[in-house]
Amino acid sequence: MQGTIEATTKMKEKKQERSEFARWSFKHACISATLAALAVLGFRFGIMNYQVAVVIIIGAAALGVIAVLSAIVSILAIITAVETKVTGAPMAITGLILGLAVVTPVFQTIQAGYKVPRIHDITTDLQNPPAFTAIAAIRTTDHNPLDRKTPARLAELQQAGYPGLGPILIDKDPARVFENAVSLVEERGWEIVAATAGKGIIEATATTRIMGFKDDVVIRISAKEGQSIVDMRSASRIGISDMGTNAARIRLFLNDLNNT
């Protein structure tokens, strides 16, 4: 009986100790999330350029990794502690969530970049790509060129990376397809820069949700024996690689247009 009482007393008197790893996780996660948010907002509002924002985001992701690892160590210590009651679970869990929120999208972007060619101008017609006219006039020297000469093997790299990408044939007259294409562009929230029904040309700008990157698109609709051939081109204004965004944009748009 006395032994039971002593054991119970020792359990009640178990020393409490806050996990230093939990505190490190929370601190690094907060700094990481703050830096990432500042980089995104700074770029979107024109306070910093693309290169500076990317460097800050990479630094934020590195801090996020430290936060995640520290949180895991802290949680394991809390679970496995025997003689000492380790506290700090809320801080560790918060650090883990915030850290993952920063690290995950950065990791996914880097991973996507390794799977696709390092190019930023994609078209369904490699021989005669749709030309930008209105958008070419508003692009600056700070943006990627539209001559499709960068890199030198652009067409070859695209063919290797996206071999199935090409124009679509729609069994409708060009006027109807043009109207449907304009509607789809508007539904996606792209900014229409020019839309000429007589030429079957639509030029627009798509803005990514998080970073606010601007990619320009041109859609060309041509008549062929009562049907319509639709070509599309999507080109990023900045960055060496588009991480596969432009090809995905073209595929999704043409698929939706074909099913309209």
CATH number of the 121-258 domain: 3.30.530.50
User: How far out from the chain centre does Cα 154 lie?
Assistant: 22
Q: Are 200 and 174 in contact (CB under 8 A)?
A: yes
Q: Which residue, among 67, 66, 256, 89, has the nearest Cα to 180 in the 3D structure?
A: 256
The phi and psi torsions of 107 (rounded to 5 degrees) equal -60, -45
pLDDT of residue 7: 47
Tokens 């693309």, residue located: 50
Residue 203, SS3? strand
Burial class (CB in 10 A: 0-12, 13-18, 19+), 163: exposed
Break the chain into its structural domains and give their ranges.
10-115, 121-258
- Residue holding tokens 């021989």? 127
- Whether residue 123 contacts residue 130, with contact meaning beta carbons closer than 8 Å, is answered with yes
pLDDT of residue 260: 87
Spans in the chain with pLDDT lower than 70:
1-15, 81-84, 86
pTM of the model: 0.82
